[in-house]
Amino acid sequence: MSENNVEKLVLEANKKPEKNKGERGEIGEATSSLTIKKMWKANLVGKLSLKRYARQLLASGDATAKDWFACKNGAMNDKRSDANKTRASLERQASKAARRKKSDSNKNKTKAVDTMTVAK
């Protein structure tokens, strides 16, 4: 073999395999949530809720369901920085306050309607 051929073979051996690219860039590893939802949609949409389907998978020993429930129970919270924990807490408080404000305004509307009917 000539030196050029040897160099080509070495370059090809050291070359990193190309990653598949989709519309939005590089395709990574699917999350447990995405995987379990795809399985649920393919098999049982409408027959069982997603949570019940995941519980059945968990009972059968499926690792994806185990990861899914772990994430739902806060397994990822340990990895959050203090800034992210603070932001999430503030967002949760704001959402709760908005729901409370909305429900209070609905109560006031019904009170106004009740007083108008009594006044007649």
Single pTM value for the model: 0.46
* Non-local CB neighbours of 66 within 8 Å, separated by 6+ positions: 58
User: Which of 41, 35, 33, 39 lies closest to 75, judged by CA?
Assistant: 33
Tell me how far apart the alpha carbons of residues 63 and 61 are, in angstroms, rounded to a whole number. 6
Tokens of 32: 């447990």
One pLDDT digit (tens) per residue for the chain, 120 residues: 566 666 666 566 666 666 666 666 667 778 899 999 999 999 877 788 999 999 999 999 999 999 999 988 877 777 778 888 899 899 999 999 999 988 887 777 666 655 656 555
